[in-house]
Chain A
Amino acid sequence: MRKFKNPMLVLFGLALVFTSCGDQKKGNSGALTSNAAEKVYVAPGEHDEFYAFVSGGFSGQLSVYGLPSGRLFKVIPVFSQDAEKAWGYNEETKPMLNTSFGFVPWDDSHHPDISQTNGELDGRYVFINGNNTPRIAKIDLTVFETTEIIEIPNSAGNHSSSFVTENTEYVVAGTRFSVPVPQRDMPINEYKGNFKGALTFISVDPEDGGMDIKFQLMMPGFDYDLSHPGRGKSHGWFFFTTYNSEEASTLLEVNASQNDKDFIAAVNWKKIEEYVNNGGGTKMPSNYAHNVYNEETHTATSTMEKEVLVVNPTDVPGAVFFLPTPKSPHGCDVDPSGEYIVGNGKLSADLTVHSFTKMLEAIEGKKYDGDAYGIPILKFEDVLAGTVSQPGLGPLHTEFDGQGNAYTTFFISSEVVKWKLGTWEVVDRQPCFYSVGHLMIPGGNSRKPFGKYVLAMNKITKDRYLPTGPEVTQSAQLYDISGEKMELLLDFPTVGEPHYAAGIAADIVKERSKKIFDLKENKHEYGITSDADVRVERNGMEVHIYMSMIRSHFNPDNIEGIKVGDKVYFHVTNMEQDYDVPHGVSIIGANTSELLIMPGQTETFVWEPKQPGVWPFYCTDFCSALHQEMQGYVRVSPASSNIDLSWSLGE
């Protein structure tokens, strides 16, 4: 008996030790949490310090969050239809999703980047790439809406995009998949030497922001993974990481991982621009959509462009060089000074940093290590600035705080690592939950980062939130980087995959945000500016309703004389001129989304009534104390009837 009792007591004692340890730990993290809570708490009615524009990845959208709170303000529809906002459903925005393949209602949105002036964020536009059907979109930050989308011809998997040069001279879109250019029917295994990788330079009009493809650089058939512009001293250059320099077309996970080094392509775009301005390049027949949304007509138009200017890199000597970089580099990041080009060799244990100054010297000295398809390869040792030795596993992306520190994400070891530029020493590391992809420091892609927070965007969430079945939320994590050590402050869920983000001080953007659209400036083809213009017109089987909406009625709200088989266009103008008074509208059986119409705006939906009856429509956005009264009826008669069109309000 005695023998038996003693071990029990020991066990009991151990249990107490463990329990008290556990309590102690809990107490500690509780104290930390309250400290972190204060740092992310934005009191009711107060504003966040930063906007974060977080891409939705495969949702095709761009979400707007506040930092440090992680509160979601808006999901801006870009490449994917959005029934909430009628994006891609109403007649006005359908042309925005037009491509050379017809209407494409979805894409994979990856890398938002904010426009710059003199290397600093100016907060005018956000650019973002659609990967799958290559497109670049521009979001106007006075309205937080997508106002332009340009399709990229000769490209596939538009991934090394959409990064802007330091005066927003260009938005750059590089192809991930090389393809036959022009597209043609050929055996896949004849890839090597025959496929091309197009790097597209889209000029941005300094006045109206209009995009236009200036030229396409037709590079060897590698995969162009990510890119960044030079800045400061390296302004005028652009850097692209490559993988699959093996030019494999199958089982890339093995076959594209054979070369010890792939390349960072350094492109002197100023030189090519000059060449093109002097008549260089070849005009190639093409077919790609250019879609522009006009704020005054509240309507988008889609134009098919028929030509693109193509430049062969070997035709412009001294414009393109390859910098050998270990093991399929992923992120290609340039520090705020423009001196360091970080190649995040995702299969390498080390981080490789190239020196822009040394690169120029090597070019000057023509110290080449051979060439690839006529493009000179510089010697690795000649351009290397330094190596961050064994900082983690699977480096993907690096951003900068403007105080001499760099922050790199490691996918496999699931962490953010802080290291020093120049000395290459690791200063701190913090775990991510889990498997971080991109990270973002507001302004981290500019000469002047706001080095206060870093946002880590994770690929895997697992148990971090309440479970929601097999598909769980996606997640971002905010760290305070104002001190020597990073501190995890906040997890917050995101819409779609938070692939990458761009952040900016809210003060630069918020004063310019529009409150309403001026009704007097409404130039919509079917818009009205006063109730005197309200009417219904028949044109054969087409019926156009010029309708107004204002608290709390539609005008007209009784319409008769519609027949089965008619195609009825509801052109609805919101006559409000007050901040935050949108109205919505839909009718029973409409085979499309509602409209959500901002003050001063006109939108259109189509309704094809299928059976006689009296069908109600109503306001879908709770607008006022009499929102429930904001409704109306359309009488639909048999196709054979001869009831005249009539419309009224309050009769």
Chain B
Amino acid sequence: MKKSRIIMVLAALLPLLLFVFPLWKITLEAPQYPTPLGMYIYINDFADANPHDIKNINLMNHYVGMKYIPDAIPEFKIFPIGIIITTVIGLIIAWKANHKWFLYWFIMMVMVSTAGLIDFYIWEHDYGHDLDPKAIMKFTNPDGSVMGFQPPFFGSKDILNFTAHSYPQLGAYCLGGGIALGLIAYFFGKKEKQTLKD
């Protein structure tokens, strides 16, 4: 089997590790929380960084009228199916198709992942801005608009007494690695074809 096809198989399989490792983590630090509150986002679940963290994030956030983090969201069904389908497609491509298809798979994965990130951003925005009008505490920005509590999309940010951190985790790196390998497989395939021609 050609090297490019082996790499393409790896590229297709690597994103499956999303079922094992978390995609993202949001951490909230404050003086009263010597052990910060944290939430892992898996492809199919929200999970506590330490026991009961999500319950405690909800308890904190209800003061400013934020919604409870739901037990399940539609994405938890859609994303796993998406990953399985793209892996199957990737494997079929690796087995049968021309190396140009490796590139198409790569482009498809970039688009799917971007869609996922946009979806994540929309959810975060909604979570941070769609506040209960009967919120116990209402804060406004210096310009008079209602203060939002959206966690950072990527990086760290101060929100009232908390410092929030939002960073990708091992699962996301596996997905990214798989996508990158798809592109590498394409270049290897191209090279192999040229060598064949020569």
Measuring CB to CB, which residues of chain A are less than 8 angstroms from any residue of chain B?
Answer: 516, 550-551, 576-579, 625-626
Contacts and interface: CB of A to CB of B under 8 A. Distances in A.
Contact of A578 (B52, B63, B136, B137): B52
B55 A577 contact: yes
B133 interface: no
B63 A577 contact: no
Contact of A625 (B35, B52, B56, B63): B63
Contact of B136 (A516, A550, A576, A626): A626
Nearest to A519: B52
B74 interface: no
A301 B56 CA distance: 33
B63 A626 contact: yes
Contacts of A576: 59
In this complex, the interface size class of chain B, counting residues with CB under 8 Å from chain A, is: under 10
A578 B59 CA distance: 10
Contacts of A551: 59
Identify whether the interface residues of A are mostly helix, strand, loop, or mixed: loop
- List the 5 closest A-B pairs by CB distance, nearest first: A577-B52, A578-B56, A551-B59, A577-B55, A626-B136
Given A625-B63, A626-B63, A577 B56 contact: yes
Interface string B29-55: 000000100000000000000011001
Interface in B106-139: 136-137
11 contacts: A516-B52, A576-B59, A577-B51, A577-B52, A577-B55, A578-B52, A578-B55, A578-B56, A578-B59, A579-B35, A626-B63
Identify whether the interface residues of B are mostly helix, strand, loop, or mixed: mixed
A577 B59 CA distance: 10
Nearest to B51: A577
Contacts of A577: 51-52, 55-56
A625 B63 CA distance: 9
A39 B33 CA distance: 30
A598 to B, nearest CB: 14
A625 B51 CA distance: 23
B136 to A, nearest CB: 6
Contacts of A579: 35
A576 B136 CA distance: 19
Nearest to B136: A626
Contacts of A626: 63, 136
B59 A550 contact: yes
Contacts of B137: 625
Interface in B55-70: 55-56, 59, 63
From A576, A578, A625, A626, name the one whose CB has the most chain B CB atoms within 10 angstroms. A578
Contacts of B136: 626
From B35, B51, B52, name the one whose CB has the most chain A CB atoms within 10 angstroms. B52
A531 to B, nearest CB: 13
Contacts of B51: 577
Interface string B137-171: 10000000000000000000000000000000000
Contacts of B59: 550-551, 576, 578
Nearest to B62: A551
A551 B58 CA distance: 11
Nearest to B56: A578
A576 B52 CA distance: 9
Nearest to A626: B136
A550 B62 CA distance: 12
A625 B59 CA distance: 12
Nearest to B35: A579
Given A577-B52, A626-B136, 15 more contacts: A516-B52, A550-B59, A551-B59, A576-B59, A577-B51, A577-B55, A577-B56, A578-B52, A578-B55, A578-B56, A578-B59, A579-B35, A625-B63, A625-B137, A626-B63
A576 B59 CA distance: 9
A397 B52 CA distance: 49
A579 B35 CA distance: 10
Nearest to B48: A577
B166 to A, nearest CB: 22
A479 B52 CA distance: 44
Contacts of B35: 579
A557 to B, nearest CB: 15
Contacts of A578: 52, 55-56, 59
Nearest to B37: A578
A289 B52 CA distance: 39
Contacts of B52: 516, 577-578
Nearest to A577: B52
Contacts of A516: 52
Nearest to A579: B35
B82 to A, nearest CB: 34
Nearest to B52: A577
A625 B160 CA distance: 14
Nearest to A516: B52
A578 B33 CA distance: 10
A578 B35 CA distance: 11
B84 to A, nearest CB: 33
A578 B137 CA distance: 21
A45 to B, nearest CB: 9
B159 to A, nearest CB: 16
B64 to A, nearest CB: 11
A576 B63 CA distance: 15
Contacts of A625: 63, 137
A551 B59 CA distance: 7
A621 to B, nearest CB: 15
A7 to B, nearest CB: 69
A452 B183 CA distance: 65
From B35, B51, B59, name the one whose CB has the most chain A CB atoms within 10 angstroms. B59
B62 to A, nearest CB: 8
A579 B137 CA distance: 23
Interface string B56-98: 1001000100000000000000000000000000000000000
A576 B51 CA distance: 12
A637 B89 CA distance: 73
A577 B57 CA distance: 11
A384 B55 CA distance: 66
A189 to B, nearest CB: 65
A514 B161 CA distance: 27
A9 to B, nearest CB: 66
A577 B35 CA distance: 14
A629 to B, nearest CB: 9
A625 B52 CA distance: 20
Nearest to A575: B55
B181 to A, nearest CB: 42
B50 to A, nearest CB: 10
A260 B5 CA distance: 99
Contacts of B63: 625-626
A209 B51 CA distance: 28
Nearest to B60: A551
A551 B136 CA distance: 12
Contacts of B56: 577-578
B39 to A, nearest CB: 14
B48 to A, nearest CB: 10
A619 B63 CA distance: 18
A431 B89 CA distance: 85
A551 B55 CA distance: 12
B128 to A, nearest CB: 20
B30 to A, nearest CB: 12
Contacts of A550: 59
B94 to A, nearest CB: 46
